């Protein structure tokens, strides 16, 4: 019988009624003989309630150790309530905090990393037909201090537990019914993918398709845990995320999805001297300002000078521009210019590896729609372009059609 680790996020367990609905679902699977281990988040709103109290105590920055003691109560409430609901339905169930499992982490409070999971108690529960319900997002360090894994940590807990238990699948229940070819709010003809590879999912997630946390996908890829995203509220098989095996590559679509990000701004330093250290002299200080630089492009001109362009998160645009203006003379740059009315648009697909000409199809499709490309970067399975914000919807739809994502694959 299949052993499945199922994770329910904050929205899925956001009210006592929803916890009851999850219990109904699990009880049905239980009576059909499925072996289940459950991971849950805090009820939605609870973490913010706790954070707000912490903010009253320490307005600047909460003590990291005590913050984890506080936040970890959120999931502890959920595990107890869900177990009660299961027991009420005649299903033997048993809750575990991170410490009780024990999920051993390093001692980086607020952003701990899982080092080891002792699955002996949970394995015994599985043997005894008892549903173990585990608090996500939390663990303990070697001194049994409570730690939390940081944002989205519950997905990581579930994947790590599935890896440690050698589960057949890790299912992430959320409020969407799978991973789509692109955002359906932008392209109504977007289609749910039956299947996607870990690498593609990583590219999609990091580009703004916020279905799964990147860390969890990385973890699943590393330990080869088949991961499935599906809806708590709607029936359906969701999207399965696995390794790209030989068979599936044969019929793999060239492009799996179209990702985009509105949270972008572009900065250009023009006619700066092209010599070793130039890039660092610009990006070093910006990194120290705690700004994450994304795309970086440098074009050397004939005269020994170069134009240096990069993108930053939109909310950091103003202070980055201010800083660069103040450094213009020191840097020996002719001009510093920028634009925060731009977006990033990407096509993602493992099919690119073995097929040439995909980039030119992309550029042609956009060009035919009258969209100018301002920046281009490529990786093995992704091509990204920066375009004017106003062309976002048009660009997404053009590419969606060009790569035949509207219709079901053969």
Binding site for its own copies (CB under 8 A): 16, 19-20, 50, 53-54, 56-58, 62-63, 65-67, 69-70, 72-73, 76-77, 79-81, 83-85, 87-88, 94-95, 97, 99-100, 144-146
Min. distance of Cβ 223 from its own copies in angstroms? 27
For 93, other C-beta atoms within 10 Å of its C-beta total 24
Distances (CA, A) of 145 to 66, 102, 117, 152, 210: 10, 12, 15, 20, 30
Q: For residue 147, what are its two tokens?
A: 């730690």
Shorter beta-carbon distance to its own copies: residue 26 or 230: 26
Q: Taking Cα atoms as reference points, which of 381, 382, 364 lies closest to residue 373?
A: 364
Shorter beta-carbon distance to its own copies: residue 74 or 395: 74
The phi and psi torsions of 36 (rounded to 5 degrees) equal -130, 140
Distances (CA, A) of 255 to 1, 42, 132, 137: 35, 36, 39, 33
Min. distance of Cβ 280 from its own copies in angstroms? 38
Give the CA angle between residues 221, 224, 227 to the nearest 5°.
75
Shorter beta-carbon distance to its own copies: residue 80 or 253: 80
Min. distance of Cβ 56 from its own copies in angstroms? 5
Min. distance of Cβ 6 from its own copies in angstroms? 18
Q: Taking Cα atoms as reference points, which of 297, 294, 338 lies closest to residue 313?
A: 294
Shorter beta-carbon distance to its own copies: residue 54 or 373: 54
Strand ranges in 87-162 using DSSP code E only, listed in sequence order: 93-96, 103-105, 114-117, 131-135, 138-140, 146-148
The phi and psi torsions of 165 (rounded to 5 degrees) equal -85, -5
Q: 36 and 29 in contact (C-beta within 8 Å)?
A: yes
Min. distance of Cβ 326 from its own copies in angstroms? 35
Min. distance of Cβ 97 from its own copies in angstroms? 8
Shorter beta-carbon distance to its own copies: residue 85 or 272: 85
Min. distance of Cβ 254 from its own copies in angstroms? 49
Shorter beta-carbon distance to its own copies: residue 56 or 380: 56
Min. distance of Cβ 136 from its own copies in angstroms? 15
Q: Taking Cα atoms as reference points, which of 6, 2, 233 lies closest to residue 134?
A: 6
Min. distance of Cβ 76 from its own copies in angstroms? 5
Min. distance of Cβ 59 from its own copies in angstroms? 8
Q: How far apart are CA 182 and CA 193, in angstroms?
A: 10
Distances (CA, A) of 331 to 265, 275, 282, 293: 21, 12, 8, 19
Shorter beta-carbon distance to its own copies: residue 98 or 153: 98
Distances (CA, A) of 44 to 21, 70, 84, 280: 15, 15, 19, 42
Residue 212, phi-psi category: left (phi > 0), alpha (psi -120 to 50), beta (remainder): beta
Shorter beta-carbon distance to its own copies: residue 148 or 213: 148
Shorter beta-carbon distance to its own copies: residue 99 or 351: 99
Shorter beta-carbon distance to its own copies: residue 41 or 97: 97
Instruction: Look at the block and give the residue holding tokens 């707000």.
Output: 52
């Amino acid at each position: 019988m299949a052993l499945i680790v199922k994770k329910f996020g904050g929205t899925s367990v956001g009210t006592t009624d929803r916890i009851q609905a999850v219990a109904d679902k699990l009880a049905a699977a239980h009576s059909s003989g499925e072996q289940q281990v459950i991971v849950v988040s805090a009820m939605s709103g609870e973490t913010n309630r706790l954070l707000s109290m912490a903010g009253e105590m320490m307005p600047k920055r909460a003590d990291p150790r005590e913050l984890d003691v506080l936040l970890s109560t959120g999931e502890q409430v959920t595990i107890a309530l869900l177990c009660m609901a299961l027991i009420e339905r005649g299903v033997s169930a048993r809750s575990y905090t991170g410490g009780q499992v024990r999920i051993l982490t390093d001692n980086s409070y607020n952003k701990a990393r899982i080092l080891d999971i002792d699955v002996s108690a949970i394995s015994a529960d599985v043997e005894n037909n008892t549903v173990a319900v585990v608090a996500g997002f939390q663990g303990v360090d070697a001194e049994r201090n409570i730690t939390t894994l940081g944002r989205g940590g519950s997905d990581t807990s579930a994947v790590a537990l599935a890896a440690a238990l050698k589960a057949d699948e890790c299912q992430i229940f959320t409020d969407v019914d799978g991973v789509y070819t692109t955002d359906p709010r932008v392209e109504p003809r977007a289609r749910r993918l039956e299947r996607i590879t870990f690498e593609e999912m990583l590219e999609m997630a990091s580009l703004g398709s916020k279905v799964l946390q990147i860390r969890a996908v990385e973890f699943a890829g590393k330990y080869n845990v088949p991961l499935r995203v599906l809806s708590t509220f709607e029936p359906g098989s969701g999207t399965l995320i696995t390794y790209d095996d030989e068979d599936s590559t044969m019929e793999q679509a060239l492009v799996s999805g179209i990702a985009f990000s509105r949270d972008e701004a572009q900065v250009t330093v023009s006619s700066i001297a092209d010599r070793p250290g130039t890039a660092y002299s610009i990006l070093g200080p910006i990194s120290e300002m705690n700004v994450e630089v994304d795309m970086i492009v440098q074009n050397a001109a004939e005269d020994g000078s170069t134009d240096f362009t990069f993108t930053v998160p939109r909310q950091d645009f103003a202070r980055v521009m201010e800083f660069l203006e103040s450094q213009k003379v020191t840097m020996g740059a002719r001009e510093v210019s920028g634009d925060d009315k731009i977006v990033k648009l990407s096509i993602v697909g493992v099919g690119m590896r073995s097929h040439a000409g995909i980039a030119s199809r992309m550029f042609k499709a956009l060009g035919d729609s009258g969209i100018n490309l301002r920046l281009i970067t490529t990786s093995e399975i992704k091509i990204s372009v920066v375009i004017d914000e106003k062309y976002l919807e048009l660009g997404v739809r053009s590419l969606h059609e060009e790569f035949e994502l509207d219709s079901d694959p053969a």
